[in-house]
Amino acid sequence: MKQYSVVKISILGVCLYPLLNSQMTQLMSNRNQTMVTEFLFSVFPHLHDGGLLFFIPLLLIYGFIITGNLMIFIVIQVDIALHTPMYYFISVLSFLEIWYTTTTIPKMLSSLVSEQKTISLVGCLMQMYFFHSLGITEGCVLTAMAVDRYIAICNPLRYPTIMTPKLCICLTAGSCLCGFLLVLPEIAWIATLPFCGSNQIHQIFCDFSPVLSLACTDTSLVVIVDAIHAVEILASFLVIALSYIRIIMVILGMPSAEGRQKAFSTCAAHLAVFLLFFGSVAVMYLRFSATYSMFWDTAIAVAFVILAPFLNPIIYSLRNKDMKDAIGRLFHCEKRVGRAGR
């Protein structure tokens, strides 16, 4: 009996030895590798290789994004005629756009002119967290705006009693809560991963896929997380799409041509921003198994991070008569105050 036990233990040891040996080899290999504490953006050219040619246009675009959204936000807060739920949500969206672009573009600008195109691990995680949190919050606000337009056009008599200031504030708070809580578990999980191989990020900002590809451990769990994010994006898209389909059907059923034109002009800006935002999100994150070259990955990221925020102030100010009138009133008032001061 004792001999049988010894033989059984020996066989078990022979079977487990290759597995334990491979695990010990991997552990020793990880210990011998230097742990990564910062990442390098490899796609940015050096200053003498044309970095300045990209820096100047990007700086002008960033300045326009900040100035345009800030002007929209201030005008809506100052002009009493714009104190409606629709413009309240536009002001929230403009405020979010300022911080959304600030999480990525300043770092891009410094990487274009600096020899050190690096970002710390903590800085990378913070950039990912705020970028995606603000992006999800924007998606939720766009959903609230679609619901607002749906009630205004499809149920106009009950609109003042439904879309109260209290409900608008609750929807905004819920959007922020949703955005800043949903991404937190994924960022906390990535923070626990070991990074001990290459530190080169082949993207213009820290994003989930480029960073996770550098982890020296199994990251297959990200498939579940990506599926959750895909469901979130598709749910928001579906709510907004169904709202606007219903809105368009109601508008087309209006007997007055003037009423149809006014309703369409009210919704046109929201519809344009919705298509721009969710179109870029879909191309960027709902690619499923499709893979692109580094050039197309970078081009899609530029459209998502820079082009979409650049067009939003144009859509909401230059294409909106009420906004143009309010901006005109604000500057006219400032001119009169300036003349009176003299």
DSSP string, 158-186: THHHHS-HHHHHHHHHHHHHHHHHHSHHH
Mean pLDDT of 313-339: 71
Quick count: other Cβ atoms within 10 Å of Cβ 177? Answer: 12
Say if CB 118 and CB 40 are below 8 A apart.
yes
pLDDT exceeds 50 at position 263? yes
Nearest-angstrom CA–CA distance, 182 and 229: 9
Nearest-angstrom CA–CA distance, 187 and 208: 9
Say if CB 280 and CB 268 are below 8 A apart.
no
Residue owning tokens 């998502």: 304
What's the pLDDT tens digit per position in 131-163? Answer: 999 999 999 999 999 899 899 888 889 999 999
Binned at pLDDT 50, 70 and 90, residue 14 comes out as very low
User: Residue 51's pLDDT is what?
Assistant: 80
Mean pLDDT of 75-88: 92
Structural domain containing residue 191: 34-332
Say if CB 300 and CB 283 are below 8 A apart.
yes
pLDDT exceeds 50 at position 5? no
What's the pLDDT tens digit per position in 180-202? Answer: 998 998 899 999 999 987 889 98
User: Residue 93's pLDDT is what?
Assistant: 94
User: Residue 45's pLDDT is what?
Assistant: 87
Nearest-angstrom CA–CA distance, 225 and 219: 11
pLDDT exceeds 70 at position 318? no
Q: Considering only residues 166 and 5, tell me which one the structure prediction assigns the higher pLDDT.
A: 166
Helix axes 85-102, 121-154, angle to 10 degrees: 160
Question: Is residue 9 in a domain?
Answer: no
User: Residue 335's pLDDT is what?
Assistant: 56
Give how many domains the chain has, as a whole number: 1
Binned at pLDDT 50, 70 and 90, residue 41 comes out as very high
Sign of CA dihedral 304, 310, 313, 315: negative
Q: What percent of the chain has pLDDT over 90?
A: 37
Question: Is residue 262 in a domain?
Answer: yes
| DSSP notation for 104-136 | THHHHHHHHH-S--EEEHHHHHHHHHHHHHHHH
Say if CB 118 and CB 39 are below 8 A apart.
yes
Question: Is residue 291 in a domain?
Answer: yes
Least confident interval from 3-17, 85-99, 127-141, 178-192: 3-17
Mean pLDDT of 40-64: 89
Binned at pLDDT 50, 70 and 90, residue 109 comes out as very high
Binned at pLDDT 50, 70 and 90, residue 122 comes out as very high
Mean pLDDT, all residues of the chain: 82
Question: Is residue 6 in a domain?
Answer: no
User: Residue 258's pLDDT is what?
Assistant: 77
Say if CB 70 and CB 98 are below 8 A apart.
yes
Question: Is residue 28 in a domain?
Answer: no
CATH of the domain at 64: 1.20.1070.10
Binned at pLDDT 50, 70 and 90, residue 342 comes out as low
Question: Is residue 337 in a domain?
Answer: no
Q: What percent of the chain has pLDDT over 70?
A: 85
pLDDT exceeds 90 at position 294? no
| DSSP notation for 63-86 | HHHHHHHHHHHHHHHH-GGG-SHH
Mean pLDDT of 90-99: 94
Question: Is residue 232 in a domain?
Answer: yes
What token pair was written down for 212?
Answer: 């996770």
Nearest-angstrom CA–CA distance, 30 and 171: 47
Say if CB 270 and CB 146 are below 8 A apart.
yes
Question: Is residue 40 in a domain?
Answer: yes
Residue among 89, 99, 100 nearest 148 (CA): 89
